[in-house]
């Protein structure tokens, strides 16, 4: 039977898209537009007046270029507020400071990448290409507030929305929105002196991305003065395709000097700054700063250099009188958090602590007296999301039901009852309005791309902003038939500790299959979750479609399992983590469809370090390994991260030597591929080049793929396609 061409087209148009998918999911398609995960919005915020939800959404033609949108709650209408291309098109010439800041934020893409609401919900502020724009909702139009040759960073509204504030050339400025009058608040910033800016380790390791904080009454701003002169200068090359930039960077390596930091309060009217007395010990960390309601008192979190002591200190701004409200201590380290919430109507606050072994919430009065513990049990609180003071309720996300899922819970301050609000099994990220009456939920599961919905505080769904159902019209529709649902389970570490795993197996299991162990393994992270994996999760599906078994195990030291689970790696990195991953491979070898002699390992950053340590220390278990942007010598990494887990080098020299990869490199048996960004300012490129040299000197063959001009995250569609094609071909050849 023969079809004419137009008859064939008509016939094909009647088929479901899944039936028309003749090609398997490819790496090229994973990183091309439109995005395979659909158009689920990002950076969701409920407006202060509770009338609308704002969000960013990538263009259909370019999923990494973002526009500003809104969903109007009463009308149920979604509309585009600002098209980024209408204000600035083409490449954005980012300053070096902004490039570094976005790298620390793990922020990628272009267009409108961040935005802020005014206090009354009448206007939005957003940076774009180094300038600042103001969108008035009633006028429905944009006007520029800043259009300067300089690149301003950390642009924000003041609390009442009368000013914007920003950093220009390492000084703090404010501008009156009504008049456009600009005021420079600091004058001698430049060189080693930075005002209102977070230093490198604050951004990269402490989660503090700013160095200034407005008081609610807009009379004062708390700000930092950072002196980088004590920090050792590191000269490194940033290698691009057509040039080599020699960069001098102040990089505080483990055991070396940190910045000198001061905290002060500047008055907007007088310009006078009062510097606080933070104590005689200058070798400390400033972790957090928060104003109390009323704007008369300020708190800051003081952390010792060894990170075994954290103090919450309150300062009366007018007098400078300080008081330690509470202190946390640990024989290993204290994890920082953002869960300090002051009540507006009563002199109390909520604080999170791991003192009982798991992160839980505690109620204090503002004099520092502990009133009661609010949550307890062998599970962790993720974060406080909202407090309804009128109803005496606290909303938080946590892992009460499963360490691999995040749910929303409601805590009654009156009787201590905890009720789960979110119902769908998976991972929920929520944002409430100011009154804690409604919230927007960005939900996903391992095979459900992000869905965004609006809910009442009791969990009742009011509407979908983006249901994102994977149907025949969805970008993922053509690949549904290939989709694999992974298995979740636990195995025991050598000491009996349960370890969670995720296991993907091909749809058609016949004979023995090669396996890839995808890992991270480091502290502060978790890979085995019932959540959407993004492009990397799609790459895993691609590998499974090719016939690989893909296995991930969260070893001891990883996050959301309690402090004892994390503390196991203290002062000895790369030991228990590798032991647990070997247990995972032993489990794989028991599966009848896995070829135990064809197992590979892949990871990036700490995962890259783990891939190296697995290949070097457990070569009988891994035939091939891919190591991305690895730490190879912890003495080369930064102070706050490294000393947290390994202690100071002078107090644990043996631990630093044993935790480096070099003593074990000679034992490499399998095939090894290392890749690195040649402009990486986090895990410096020298980590890899030192290992290259050692392997070459010992005549040990290996492969490498380095990326000119790329930072630690290796952002960009073309780079991602090339990288994952390279990794896949490497495993195809060797497994």
CATH of domain 185-336: 2.140.10.30
- Cβ atoms of 27 and 414 closer than 8 Å: no
- CB half-sphere exposure, 511, CA atoms < 13 A: 5
- Cβ atoms of 665 and 587 closer than 8 Å: no
- Cβ atoms of 156 and 164 closer than 8 Å: yes
**636-667 pLDDT per residue, tens:** 999 999 999 999 999 999 999 999 999 999 99
**28-75 pLDDT per residue, tens:** 999 998 999 998 788 999 999 889 999 999 998 888 899 999 999 999
**251-283 pLDDT per residue, tens:** 999 999 999 999 999 999 999 999 999 999 999
**559-607 pLDDT per residue, tens:** 999 999 999 999 999 999 999 999 999 999 999 999 999 999 999 999 9
Decide: helix, strand or coil at residue 397.
strand
- If one compares 422 and 240, the residue with the highest pLDDT of the two is 422
Sheet holding 360-365, edge to edge: 340-342, 348-353, 360-365, 370-373
Q: Which residues lie below 8 Å from residue 219, measured CB to CB, with a gap of 6+? A: 267, 268, 269, 295
712 is catalytic: yes
Q: Which residues lie below 8 Å from residue 13, measured CB to CB, with a gap of 6+? A: none
Domain boundaries, the chain: 1-30+344-483, 35-157, 185-336, 484-734
Active-site residue, selected from the candidate residues 154, 382, 638, 680: 680
Distance, in Å, from the CA atom of 406 to the CA atom of 396, rounded to the nearest integer, reads: 10
Cα 645 vs. chain centroid, distance in angstroms?
A: 19
Identify the band that residue 105 occupies on the pLDDT scale cut at 50, 70 and 90: confident
What is the pLDDT of the chain when averaged over all its residues? Answer: 93
How much is the pLDDT for 88?
83
- Identify the CATH class of 484-734: alpha beta
Decide: helix, strand or coil at residue 730.
helix
Residue 114 has a CB neighbour count (10 Å cut-off) of 16
Looking at residues 145-151, what average pLDDT do you find? 89
**Considering Cα of 627, then 632, then 637, then 641, what sign does the dihedral take?**
positive
How much is the pLDDT for 5?
38
Q: Answer yes or no: is pLDDT of 15 > 50.
A: no
Decide: helix, strand or coil at residue 725.
helix
How much is the pLDDT for 95?
75
Active-site residue, selected from the candidate residues 428, 676, 687, 712: 712
Where would I find the beta strands (DSSP E) of 258-359? 260-267, 273-275, 284-291, 297-304, 309-316, 322-329, 340-342, 348-353
Same topology for domains 1-30+344-483 and 185-336, yes or no?
Answer: yes
Distance, in Å, from the CA atom of 2 to the CA atom of 19, rounded to the nearest integer, reads: 20
Looking at residues 208-222, what average pLDDT do you find? 97
Distance, in Å, from the CA atom of 165 to the CA atom of 104, rounded to the nearest integer, reads: 21
586 sits in which H/E element: helix 576-589
Q: Which residue has the tokens 């949108």?
A: 69
Cα 423 vs. chain centroid, distance in angstroms?
A: 25
Tokens of 482: 């290939």
Distance, in Å, from the CA atom of 88 to the CA atom of 83, rounded to the nearest integer, reads: 9
Q: Answer yes or no: is pLDDT of 18 > 50.
A: no
How much is the pLDDT for 237?
79
Looking at residues 664-693, what average pLDDT do you find? 96
Pairing of strands 297-304, 284-291: antiparallel
680 is catalytic: yes
Identify the band that residue 235 occupies on the pLDDT scale cut at 50, 70 and 90: confident
**387-420 pLDDT per residue, tens:** 999 999 999 999 999 999 999 999 999 999 999 9
Active-site residue, selected from the candidate residues 531, 558, 605, 688: 605
Q: Answer yes or no: is pLDDT of 9 > 70.
A: no
Distance, in Å, from the CA atom of 9 to the CA atom of 20, rounded to the nearest integer, reads: 12
- If one compares 214 and 15, the residue with the highest pLDDT of the two is 214
- Cβ atoms of 565 and 498 closer than 8 Å: no
What CATH number matches the domain at 1-30+344-483, 3.40.640.10, 3.40.1440.10, 2.140.10.30, 3.40.50.1220? Answer: 2.140.10.30
Q: Phi and psi (nearest 5°) for 264?
A: -135, 175
User: CA nearest 204: which of 602, 711, 608?
Assistant: 711
How much is the pLDDT for 374?
98
């Amino acid at each position: 039977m023969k079809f004419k061409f137009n008859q064939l087209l008509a016939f094909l148009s009647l088929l479901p898209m899944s039936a028309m998918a003749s090609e398997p999911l490819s790496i090229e398609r994973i990183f091309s537009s439109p995005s395979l995960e659909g158009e689920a919005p990002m950076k969701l915020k409920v407006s202060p007046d509770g009338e609308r939800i704002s969000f960013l959404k990538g263009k259909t033609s370019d999923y990494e270029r973002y526009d500003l949108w809104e969903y109007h709650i009463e009308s149920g209408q979604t509309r585009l507020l600002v098209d980024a291309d209408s204000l600035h098109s083409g490449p954005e010439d980012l300053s070096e400071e902004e490039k570094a800041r976005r790298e620390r934020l793990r922020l990628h893409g272009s267009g409108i990448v961040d935005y802020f609401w005014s206090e009354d919900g009448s206007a939005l502020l957003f940076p774009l290409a180094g300038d600042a724009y103001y969108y008035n909702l009633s006028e429905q139009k944009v006007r520029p507030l800043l259009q300067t040759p300089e690149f301003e960073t950390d642009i924000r509204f003041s609390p009442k929305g009368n000013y914007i504030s920003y950093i220009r050339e390492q000084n703090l400025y404010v501008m009156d929105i009504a008049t456009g009058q600009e005021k420079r608040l600091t004058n001698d910033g430049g060189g080693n002196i930075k005002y209102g800016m977070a230093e490198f380790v604050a951004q990269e390791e402490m989660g503090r991305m700013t160095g200034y904080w407005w008081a609610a009454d807009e009379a004062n701003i708390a700000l930092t003065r950072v002196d980088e002169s004590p920090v050792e200068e590191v000269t490194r090359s940033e290698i691009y395709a057509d040039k080599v930039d020699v960069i001098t960077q102040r990089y505080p390596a483990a055991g070396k000097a940190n910045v000198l930091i001061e905290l002060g309060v500047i008055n907007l009217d007088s310009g006078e700054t009062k510097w606080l007395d933070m104590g005689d010990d200058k070798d400390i960390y400033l972790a957090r700063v928060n104003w109390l309601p009323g704007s008369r008192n300020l708190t800051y979190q003081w952390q010792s250099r060894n990170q075994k002591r954290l103090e919450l200190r309150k300062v009366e701004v007018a007098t400078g009188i300080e008081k330690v409200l509470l202190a946390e201590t640990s024989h290993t380290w204290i994890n920082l958090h953002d869960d300090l919430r002051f009540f507006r109507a009563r002199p109390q606050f909520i604080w999170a602590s791991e003192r009982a072994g798991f992160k839980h919430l505690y109620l204090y009065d503002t004099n520092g007296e502990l009133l009661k513990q609010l949550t307890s049990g062998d599970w962790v609180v993720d974060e406080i999301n909202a407090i309804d003071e009128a109803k005496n309720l606290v909303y938080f996300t946590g892992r009460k039901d499963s360490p691999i899922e995040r749910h929303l819970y409601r805590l009654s301050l009156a009787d201590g009852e905890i009720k789960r609000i979110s119902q769908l099994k998976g991972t929920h990220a929520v944002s409430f309005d100011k009154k804690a009456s409604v919230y927007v939920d960005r939900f996903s599961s391992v095979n459900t791309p992000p869905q965004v919905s609006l809910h009442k505080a009791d969990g009742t769904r009011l509407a979908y902003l983006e249901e994102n159902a994977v149907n025949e019209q969805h970008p993922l529709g053509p690949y549904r038939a290939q989709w694999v649902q992974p298995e979740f389970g636990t195995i025991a570490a050598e000491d009996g500790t349960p370890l969670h795993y995720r296991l993907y197996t091909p749809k058609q299991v016949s004979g023995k299959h090669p396996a890839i162990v995808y890992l991270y393994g480091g502290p502060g992270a978790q890979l085995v979750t019932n959540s959407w994996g993004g492009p990397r999760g799609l790459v895993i599906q691609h590998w499974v479609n090719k016939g690989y078994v893909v296995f991930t195990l969260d070893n001891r030291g990883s996050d959301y399992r309690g402090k004892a689970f994390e503390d196991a790696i203290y002062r000895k990195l790369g030991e228990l983590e590798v032991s647990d991953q070997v247990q995972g491979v032993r489990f794989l070898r028991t599966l009848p469809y896995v070829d135990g002699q064809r197992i590979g390992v892949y990871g990036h950053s700490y995962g890259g370090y783990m891939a190296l340590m697995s290949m070097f220390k457990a070569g009988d278990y891994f035939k091939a390994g891919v190591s991305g942007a690895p730490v190879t010598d912890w003495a080369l990494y930064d102070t706050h991260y490294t000393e947290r887990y390994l202690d100071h080098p002078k107090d644990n020299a043996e631990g630093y030597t044993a935790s480096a990869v070099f003593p074990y490199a000679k034992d490499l048996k399998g095939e090894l591929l290392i890749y690195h960004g040649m402009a990486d300012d986090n895990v410096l490129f020298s980590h890899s080049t030192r290992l290259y040299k050692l392997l070459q000197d010992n005549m040990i063959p290996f492969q490498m793929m380095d990326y000119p001009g790329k930072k630690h995250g290796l952002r960009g569609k073309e780079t991602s396609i090339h990288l994952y094609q390279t990794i896949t071909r490497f495993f195809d050849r060797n497994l």
